[in-house]
Amino acid sequence: MANVRGRNVRVEIAATYASDVTVTAVTLASPGVATATAHGLANDTVGYFYDVVGMAQLEKQACRVKNQTTNTFE
């Protein structure tokens, strides 16, 4: 196991995984707003982007859901 050093370092490990959510668009705003029809994610849920098409900078990035609505989240 590698040592992790730094300020404000936080590691979270999931005990269970939910079903995949298909994100159909992400804005280039700050923060970005993702569109995912009826995603069912709650605020503070941690998600992980993989198999990204069209926005490679999101590949393998974890994010925390904020300001969720029925079809979008930041």
| Long-range contacts at 27-33 (CB < 8 A, ≥ 24 apart) | 31/66, 31/74, 32/74, 33/72, 33/73, 33/74
- The answer to whether residue 15 scores a pLDDT higher than 90 is no
Distance from C-alpha of 21 to C-alpha of 7, rounded to nearest angstrom: 31
- The answer to whether residue 3 scores a pLDDT higher than 90 is no
Rounded mean pLDDT, 2-9 = 64
pLDDT digits (tens, 9 = 90+) for 19-35: 889 999 999 889 999 99
Rounded mean pLDDT, 41-50 = 89
